[in-house]
Structure 1
């Protein structure tokens, strides 16, 4: 719904998970004033190559400089890094299933997660996120941030 408007910011998807398997789309401009209900979680999926993504991550996200540096790093390897305050960084790779891609040219997603917020960054489109959007639209998706991470890792 807001995908076209959000794209100018590098924001691929901005969703509030409803705690029941569904989600509602929100605009980038709504982020600053967003108040989540206790059962809700926020998922922000960004295009890592977009300059506005990098600006938002460093100036507005509230993440540490350390976390931002790792999320924006050019080359990464799959890993899990626990952070203070029950947060984590997770770097995943998968086979590139995009049309015309070589399978050995892996796709990656970089994830910051806390109890009620997931920030993911990708360079190329990911089939896993497309499938997640369908499940959320059908009300059969992840209910919270931790389930979202499990869905993305499968």
Structure 2
């Protein structure tokens, strides 16, 4: 005897999509505004915390430099050199006007920045040459 296979009920096609009522849209809009306000408030709070932290570091820097001049004067030049290497050109000029900035640190920092720029340009030129030679090789094989 043959067993009859059970049939799955036919699936009904979706005829209508969900539509929000005007009341639902108004609630959704209100919720989105509320979320935006909360996120804005939190972002402003985080910004304030970071501003205060940077200010605390800046206010402590001079006292720390005084201590460094007494305990390790050679480190003061290294600190200004390293900060100068990572500062923007404008900030670098401003930084080396500091009363405790040692002479020569500005020139060393500028030389290092120029060296890094030259190395970056050389690496970019080498990468461009490598890409050009690969495309030439691909064209010659085709």
The structure with the largest strand share of the pair is 1
Higher relative contact order (CA 8 A, sep 6+): 1
TM-score (norm 1): 0.25
